[in-house]
């Protein structure tokens, strides 16, 4: 991303003229790097790799002059210069011979009506085509929208960076869903809730930062993987974000996102009409409240004409909400949605609504049931520009959870899946944990909905959230990213595979985890075969390794849930109202969520899925303790007792975490020195932490069960 370092000055570069080509940088493959460029390094190809691009046109022609199109051309010129050492001349459309041509379909048809772009091309989709135009060989990057052209440029550059041939190029790419957004949980004082990559890139000391260079760079990273929206502040929102004086500051962030086609949006506090609006109520059905939102939204659009909309967290974890006035989430969402509607904005209303003072002694209580209980009865009551934002699992980003049943529970309501890129419960970027493998399992999970109104023979979560099953107008993917001011954005260079992977999955959830990590590795570290083989294998194994020493069999992350969500702390889950219970006692472990004897949560799924989870016979081992309370001696499909599985899993996981260190050490000299050392230090630390986890959990469960380990590693002290 060398090319984006002056992003906040983009309009300036446009004025200066994009024919200005930057100096060619030829880094040695092992030179020090900070990770700041992430997957947009555009490092110089070696001579052999560069030869396949000898036929690449010498110039680029831009059809149109919008800011986003100019950005696309600028990125192309800079990146080709860096990777191939060639200066592409940037021109307008008057002489398009032997050129890389960038433009929308409309502009292209004027240039050459004989070209026949694929008719199925939708908004933001793009077409990469090697074509003859006016008799000369050209390369076309076209889309229905300016933003799609930018995406096409990034795709072309990714191919070059990975050494893919461009001969006979003819490729159409379409986004799977219209919503591909990230959320940032940034507070106005500059801290980030559950952020592990340094302070906010947007805010410091209660104000928008004076220097927004990083925010602009973030815009380019997001656009490069097709992300088209960013909510910049914490869902635990400070009402002050909507203060009149603050909006002018916020609009500066929108300005640095705009060249990259990233729409800015805000998290809002539902009590704002009262707290900052001077009303004596925030009742969503009070006309004065509706009027307040209407005026506020109009004002926002005066500052930010391409504003995306609002994210709402309400009646959850102490946030105020419509329940204050005995109103529903639909009442609250719709009053805001109606203010946004004339401007094309949307409301993401989070389904993360639950009572965190549940009585833990009542075995029928279950936090997992809350989202469905609250939102399923309201199906069809939300306006068309409301999207219900649903966490992937019914609890809270644990290391493994089943897909939330709510995905299948709303047929007349827009949905988006919320995935957590920042590794709150999955090692906080200090442990290697490639989450795409986990997300794929949820997205591909078939909810087996049988409904006479649908023609689909499969109803996976990805199709439900994209609105494809019930033909919803909008829907898609939201990732909680929480990048920060650390040079490498997330605190660890390897964690950036999760941000990259989120974007790629939001664009195309049918991509495999293997394909995604292969791309990311080549772009981030180059295509040395040893690096690609070793690092992709490490990433692909990492989620299961982390799971094996922190929370196997679906017990949830056995962490300190009252504190940092990082260290082992299984006892903290019990005997409090937060509802992350695993119900471990002297006889057994696991939450009984069956319809027959438990909380009834399983009854929220469609019938075929209920059958899968309700019976011990069919329930998969890896979710056993999420759905069932079993004795420690219960025998799994593997033939092992639960307790022995827990011991073995922790020992095996700690061993495999240790192996990451030696695997990485084989890459010494194959990756740049600074990132090599940084990652080595992290993996060594993870290896010791995995041992700490292993010993803490094994000791805890041995003390409860008093069943020793068959292999003599745990519980060798005499029984009392
Ligand atoms: C932003 C979890 C996290 C909270 C987070 C909340 C949410 O409970 O621990 O930090 O709040 O989820 O998603 O709203």
DSSP string, 305-366: TT--EEEE--SSTT---GGGGT--HHHHHHHHHHHHGGGT-EEEEE-----TT--TT-TT--
Q: What pTM does this model have?
A: 0.95
- Which one is catalytic: 37, 283, 383, 424? 424
Strands (E), 392-447: 414-420
Could you confirm whether 441 is annotated as catalytic? Answer: no
Paired residues of 266 in beta bridges: 310
- Which one is catalytic: 112, 317, 373, 508? 317
Give the pLDDT confidence score for residue 272 in this predicted structure.
98
Could you confirm whether 37 is annotated as catalytic? Answer: no
Which residue's alpha carbon is at the smallest distance from atom 12 of ligand 1?
396
Give the pLDDT confidence score for residue 95 in this predicted structure.
81
Nearest in space to 220 (alpha carbons), one of 503, 603, 567? 503
Give the pLDDT confidence score for residue 17 in this predicted structure.
38
DSSP 685-700: HHHHHHHHHHHHHHHH
Nearest in space to 329 (alpha carbons), one of 373, 273, 279, 393? 373
Q: How far is the CA of 478 from the centre of ligand 1 (A)?
A: 15
Backbone φ and ψ of 379, nearest 5°: -55, 125
- Which one is catalytic: 396, 418, 518, 648? 396
Ligand 1 contacts (CB < 6 A) are 185, 193-194, 234-236, 313, 317, 352, 396
Q: How far is the CA of 108 from the centre of ligand 1 (A)?
A: 47
∠ Cα 214 215 221 (to 5°): 85
Q: For residues 292 and 553, what is the distance between their CA atoms, to the nearest angstrom?
A: 49
Q: How far is the CA of 457 from the centre of ligand 1 (A)?
A: 35
Give the pLDDT confidence score for residue 717 in this predicted structure.
59
Nearest in space to 253 (alpha carbons), one of 293, 308, 178? 308
Q: For residues 317 and 580, what is the distance between their CA atoms, to the nearest angstrom?
A: 14
Give the pLDDT confidence score for residue 92 in this predicted structure.
81
Antiparallel, parallel or unpaired: β 207-208 and 203-204 = antiparallel
Atom of ligand 1 nearest to the CA of 234: 1
Antiparallel, parallel or unpaired: β 89-91 and 99-104 = unpaired
Give the pLDDT confidence score for residue 715 in this predicted structure.
78
Q: How far is the CA of 12 from the centre of ligand 1 (A)?
A: 39
Q: How far is the CA of 194 from the centre of ligand 1 (A)?
A: 8
Positions in the chain whose pLDDT score sits under 70 = 1-31, 716-720
Position of tokens 């030696």? 662
To test ligand 1's pocket by mutation, which of 196, 311, 313, 317 has the most ligand atoms within 8 angstroms of CB?
Answer: 317
Could you confirm whether 317 is annotated as catalytic? Answer: yes
């Amino acid at each position: 991303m060398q090319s984006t370092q002056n992003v906040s000055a983009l309009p300036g570069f446009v004025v200066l003229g994009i024919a200005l080509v930057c100096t060619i940088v030829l880094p040695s493959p092992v030179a020090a790097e900070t990770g700041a460029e992430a997957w947009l390094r555009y490092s110089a190809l070696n001579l052999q790799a560069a030869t396949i691009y000898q036929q690449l046109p010498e110039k680029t022609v831009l059809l149109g002059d919008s800011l986003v199109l100019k950005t696309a051309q600028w990125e192309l010129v800079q990146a080709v210069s860096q990777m191939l050492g060639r200066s592409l001349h940037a021109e307008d459309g008057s002489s398009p011979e032997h050129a890389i041509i960038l433009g929308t379909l409309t502009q292209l048809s004027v240039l050459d009506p004989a070209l026949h772009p694929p008719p199925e091309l939708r908004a933001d989709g793009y077409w990469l085509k090697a074509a003859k135009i006016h008799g000369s060989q050209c390369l076309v990057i076209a889309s229905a929208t300016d933003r799609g052209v930018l995406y096409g440029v990034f795709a072309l550059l990714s191919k070059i960076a990975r050494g893919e041939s461009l001969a006979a190029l003819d490729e159409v790419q379409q986004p799977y869903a219209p919503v591909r957004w990230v959320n940032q949980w940034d507070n106005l004082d500059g801290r980030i809730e559950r952020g592990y990559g340094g302070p906010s890139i947007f805010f410091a000391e209660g104000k928008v930062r004076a220097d927004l260079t990083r925010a602009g760079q973030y815009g380019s990273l997001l656009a490069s993987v097709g992300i088209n929206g960013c909510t910049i502040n914490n869902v635990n929102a400070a009402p002050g974000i909507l203060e009149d004086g603050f909006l002018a500051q916020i609009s500066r962030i929108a300005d640095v996102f705009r060249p990259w086609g990233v729409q800015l949006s805000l998290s809002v506090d539902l009590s704002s009409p009262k707290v900052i609006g001077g009303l004596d109520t925030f009742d969503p059905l009070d006309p004065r409240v509706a009027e307040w939102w209407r005026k506020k939204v109009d004002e926002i659009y005066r500052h930010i004409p391409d504003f995306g909309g609002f994210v709402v967290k309400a009646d959850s974890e102490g946030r105020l909400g419509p329940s204050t006035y005995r109103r529903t989430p639909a009442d609250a969402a719709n009053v805001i949605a109606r203010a946004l509607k004339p401007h094309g904005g949307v409301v993401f209303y989070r389904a993360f609504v639950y009572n965190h003072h549940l009585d833990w002694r009542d075995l029928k209580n279950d936090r997992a049931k809350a989202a469905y209980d609250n939102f399923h009865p309201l199906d069809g009551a939300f306006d068309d520009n409301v999207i219900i934002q649903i966490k992937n699992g019914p609890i809270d980003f644990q290391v493994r959870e089943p897909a939330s049943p709510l995905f299948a529970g709303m047929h007349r309501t827009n949905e988006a899946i919320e995935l957590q890129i920042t590794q709150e419960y999955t090692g906080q970027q200090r442990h290697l944990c490639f989450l795409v493998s986990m997300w794929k399992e949820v997205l591909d999970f078939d909810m087996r909905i049988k409904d006479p109104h649908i023609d689909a023979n499969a109803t996976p979560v990805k199709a439900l959230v994209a609105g494809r099953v019930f033909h919803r107008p909008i829907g898609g993917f939201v990732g909680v990213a929480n990048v920060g001011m650390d040079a490498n954005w997330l605190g660890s260079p390897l964690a950036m595979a999760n941000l990259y992977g989120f974007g790629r999955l939001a664009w195309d959830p049918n991509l495999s985890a293997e394909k995604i990590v292969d791309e990311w590795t080549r772009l981030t570290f180059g295509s040395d075969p040893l690096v690609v083989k070793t690092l992709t294998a490490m990433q692909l194994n990492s989620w299961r390794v982390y799971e094996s020493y922190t929370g196997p069999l679906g017990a949830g992350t056995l962490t300190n849930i009252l504190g940092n969500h990082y260290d082992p702390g299984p006892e903290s889950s019990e005997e409090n109202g937060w509802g992350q219970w695993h119900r471990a006692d002297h006889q057994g472990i696991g939450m009984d969520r069956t319809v027959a004897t438990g909380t009834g949560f399983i009854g929220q799924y469609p019938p075929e899925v209920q059958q899968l989870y309700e019976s011990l016979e069919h329930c998969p081992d890896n979710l056993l303790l999420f759905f069932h309370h079993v004795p420690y001696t219960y025998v799994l499909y593997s033939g092992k007792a639960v307790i022995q599985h827990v011991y073995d899993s922790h020992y095996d996981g700690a061993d495999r975490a240790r192996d990451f260190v030696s695997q990485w050490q084989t890459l010494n000299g194959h990756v740049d020195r600074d990132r090599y050392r940084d990652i080595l230090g992290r993996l060594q630390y993870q290896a010791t932490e995995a041992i700490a986890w292993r010993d803490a959990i094994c000791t805890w469960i041995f003390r409860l069960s008093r069943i020793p380990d068959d292999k003599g590693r745990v519980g060798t002290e005499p029984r009392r």
